Amino acid sequence: MTGNTGQPKAVPWAITFADLSLLLLCFFVMMAALPRKTAEARPAATTSADEAATLLRQRLAEGIEQGWIQFDQDGSRIHLKFGTADGFDVGSDQPTPRTLALIDTLADTLKHGDAHVTVAGHTDDMPISTNRFRDNWDLSTARAVSVIRELVMTHGIDPQRLEARGYADTRPLARNDTQQARARNRRIEIEIAWGR
C-alpha cells in the first residue's frame, strides 16, 4: 500500500505553457522595440524638392555665380545644366575634377531621398570617330552614363532611381558657329523629379 505524501503532483503541460508564455512575452517586447530603433538609425531623408533645392543652391553657389552651373526649379522638379566645355576632357567620357565635385554634392543631397534623377549628355556638332566612340551619340550617352556610374558605384545611389540619355548635337543651346557657342552646347543636364 502506497502512502500519500501530501505533495501535489507536477503537471508537465503547465510548465511547458509557462515557458511558452514567457517566450511569447519576450518576443512581443522585442517586436515593439524594433521599429523605434530602426527609425532612430535611419538617416534623415530629403523629403521635398524645396529642401533639396535650398541645399543644392547653397552647396553649388560658387559654380552658379560663375555661370558654370545653371540652376532652375519648377515645382517638384530641379534642373541643373553644367559643363560648358570643361565638364569632360575633349573627346572623353571621364569627368573632370570639377564635375566629380558636383556629383559628390548632388549625391550627398539626394542619397537618402526617393527622387528620380535623369542625366542627359549633349555635344556640339563637331564630328567624332574614335576606337571608343563611333559618333557624338556614343559620346553623349557615355558621358551621361559616367555620371550615373559615379552616383551608383561611388555613392551607393539606387540605380533604379537613375536614368541616362544621350542627345548628341540634336538639342543645342546656341548655334555651333563659334568656339564659345560650341562650348555652351557641350554640357550635362540633370533633372531631379519627385512624385513620379
pLDDT digits 0-9 by tens, 159-195:
999 999 999 999 999 999 999 899 889 999 999 999 8
Place of cell 552616383: 151
Place of cell 512624385: 195
* pLDDT of 21: 62
Rounded to the nearest angstrom, the gap between the alpha carbon of residue 66 and the centroid of all alpha carbons in its chain is 25
Residue 54 CA: distances (Å) to CA of 38, 72, 73, 167, 189: 28, 11, 10, 29, 19
* pLDDT of 154: 96
> Per mean pLDDT, which range of 13-27, 53-67, 82-96, 130-144 is the poorest?
13-27
Q: Maximum distance among all alpha carbons in the chain?
A: 120
Q: Which residue has the higher pLDDT, 36 or 173?
A: 173
pLDDT band at 89 (very low <50, low <70, confident <90, very high): confident
* pLDDT of 195: 81
Closest CA to 144 of 170, 128, 166: 166
Q: Is pLDDT above 50 for 40?
A: no
Q: Is pLDDT above 90 for 19?
A: no
Q: Is pLDDT above 50 for 36?
A: no
Q: How many CB atoms lie within 10 A of CB 72?
A: 11
Q: Report residue 107: phi and psi, to 5°.
A: -65, -40
Mean pLDDT for the chain?
84
pLDDT band at 86 (very low <50, low <70, confident <90, very high): confident
Share of the chain above pLDDT 90, in %: 64
pTM: 0.75
Q: Is pLDDT above 70 for 14?
A: no
